[in-house]
């Protein structure tokens, strides 16, 4: 479902959701935000190590 509205592969979305991705490029973030109609701050939470 999300892969269709964002144009991002299901595997990438699953990896993002599961925390397996350590970095994200701006194009992917832009596609997620536009496809889901959200802002980056809705998707990203900063936590200190």
Q: Across all residues in the chain, what is the average pLDDT?
A: 90
Contact criterion met (CB below 8 Å) for 7 and 31:
yes
Domain that holds residue 37: 2-43
Q: What pLDDT does residue 44 have?
A: 87
How many independent structural domains does the chain possess?
Answer: 1
DSSP string, 16-47: HHHT--S---HHHHHHHHHHHT--HHHH----
Residue 49 forms part of a structural domain = no
| 32 burial via Cβ count (<10 Å: 0-12, 13-18, 19+) | buried
Residue 27 forms part of a structural domain = yes
Residue 48 forms part of a structural domain = no
List pLDDT tens digits, range 3-16: 888 999 999 989 98
- pTM of the model as a whole: 0.77
Residue 15 forms part of a structural domain = yes
- Mean per-residue pLDDT for 13-32? 90
Residue 35 forms part of a structural domain = yes
């Amino acid at each position: 479902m999300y892969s269709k509205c964002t144009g991002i592969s299901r595997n990438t979305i699953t990896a993002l959701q599961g925390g397996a991705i350590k970095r994200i490029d701006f194009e992917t973030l832009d596609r997620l935000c536009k496809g889901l109609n959200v802002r980056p701050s809705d998707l990203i939470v900063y936590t200190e190590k």
